[in-house]
């Protein structure tokens, strides 16, 4: 089955769902919501990708890029890869092609395990980003980059009891490197992401990151329910980390059919 047949079969499934949903929810009254422009709605969503995973389905880079373009995706989220692997080369090719089509990149930088060499780790990534892409974009990296993101899921148990300290080291290094370069100075810097079970206690441990971030960030695995149900609560929990921000990136969430136990 090619990707167009796959999309067509998915559309038929949605039509079938619509046909039965009228009966199932006939008695449900939904609150009125103010209408939003379709353009602003499209701009509000992004898709997580791992194009640098060359040994996975993402190794079919042409098909992935074509599908993202067909879907009209405006932003992708993917860690910025360095080195010379086939996955890195796939990422470089794909991101330039997506940029030409109007799709921008929320590029996350480094991992929390690199905290001992936070400055060098972040410098290496931003060196590679600016040296490779900037000349290929006529000197304007903003044609590609939507934003830069901090490290992933800083409060994972395997990160140890000093995770908050290490996360701050990595975020500070990212901020310093990004704001020191003319190519990236005007690209927004998002904070590190936290797990779906993030608590107010963990937020207090991490502290205020407003001096080293422009955009708040967190993950929200919603277990098959509407992701909008818990967004306000999650923002409230993370607000001490980003007290002044008006912009948030909810990186790993969405509409899905996973079991409603919040473990998947």
Catalogue the E-assigned strands of the chain. 47-48, 75-79, 104-108, 145-149, 189-190, 216-218, 248-250
- Most distant CA pair in the chain: distance in Å? 59
Tell me how far CA of residue 232 lies from CA of 94, 101, 127, in angstroms: 34, 33, 37
- Structure confidence at residue 43 (pLDDT): 78
User: Phi/psi at 150 (nearest 5 deg)?
Assistant: -70, -175
- Structure confidence at residue 23 (pLDDT): 45
- Structure confidence at residue 24 (pLDDT): 47
User: Phi/psi at 79 (nearest 5 deg)?
Assistant: -65, 140
Q: Which of 125, 60, 52 is nearest to 95 (CA)?
A: 52
Q: What element of type H or E holds 231?
A: helix 231-238
- Structure confidence at residue 4 (pLDDT): 46
- Assessment of whether the complete model's pTM goes beyond 0.85: no
Q: What is the DSSP letter of 229?
A: G
- Structure confidence at residue 40 (pLDDT): 74
Q: What are the domain boundaries of the chain?
A: 41-74+83-101, 109-252
Question: What burial letters (b/e) apply to 27-53, b meaning 16+ CB within 10 Å?
Answer: eeeeeeeeeeeeeeeeeeebbebbbbe
Residues in the chain: 264
Q: Per residue of the chain (264 residues), give pLDDT as tens.
A: 444 443 444 443 433 334 434 444 455 677 887 776 767 767 778 899 999 998 888 889 999 999 999 999 999 999 999 989 999 999 999 999 999 999 999 999 999 999 999 999 999 999 999 999 999 999 999 999 999 999 999 999 999 999 999 999 999 999 999 999 999 999 999 999 999 999 999 999 999 999 999 999 999 887 777 777 788 999 999 999 999 999 999 988 876 665 555 554
Give the whole-angstrom CA distance, residue 80 versus residue 212.
19
User: Phi/psi at 243 (nearest 5 deg)?
Assistant: -65, -25
Q: Which of 141, 113, 147, 111 is nearest to 129 (CA)?
A: 141
C-beta of residue 112 within 8 angstroms of C-beta of residue 79: no
- Structure confidence at residue 261 (pLDDT): 54
Q: Which of 171, 178, 256 is nearest to 217 (CA)?
A: 171
């Amino acid at each position: 089955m090619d990707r167009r047949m796959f999309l067509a079969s998915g559309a038929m499934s949605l039509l079938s769902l619509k046909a039965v949903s009228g009966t199932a929810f006939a008695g449900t009254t939904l609150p009125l919501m103010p209408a939003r422009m379709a353009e602003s709605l499209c701009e509000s969503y992004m898709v997580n990708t791992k194009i640098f995973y060359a040994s996975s389905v993402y190794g079919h880079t042409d098909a992935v890029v074509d599908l993202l373009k067909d879907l009209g995706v405006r932003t992708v989220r993917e860690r910025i890869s360095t080195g010379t692997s086939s996955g890195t080369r796939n990422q470089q090719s794909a991101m330039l092609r997506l940029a030409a089509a109007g799709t921008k990149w929320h590029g996350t930088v480094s991992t929390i395990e690199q905290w001992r060499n936070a400055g060098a780790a972040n410098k290496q990534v931003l060196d590679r980003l600016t040296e490779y892409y900037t000349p290929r974009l006529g000197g304007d990296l903003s044609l590609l980059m939507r934003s830069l993101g901090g490290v992933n899921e800083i409060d994972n148990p395997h990160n140890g009891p000093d995770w908050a300290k290490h996360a701050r080291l990595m975020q500070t290094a990212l901020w310093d490197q990004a704001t020191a370069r003319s190519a990236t100075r005007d690209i927004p810097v998002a904070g590190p992401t936290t797990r779906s079970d993030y608590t107010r206690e963990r937020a207090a441990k991490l502290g205020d990151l407003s001096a080293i971030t422009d955009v708040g960030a967190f993950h929200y695995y919603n277990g098959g329910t509407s992701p909008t149900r818990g967004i306000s609560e999650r923002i409230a929990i993370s607000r001490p980390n980003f007290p002044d921000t008006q912009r948030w990136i909810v990186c790993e969430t969405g509409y899905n059919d996973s079991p409603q136990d919040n473990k998947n």
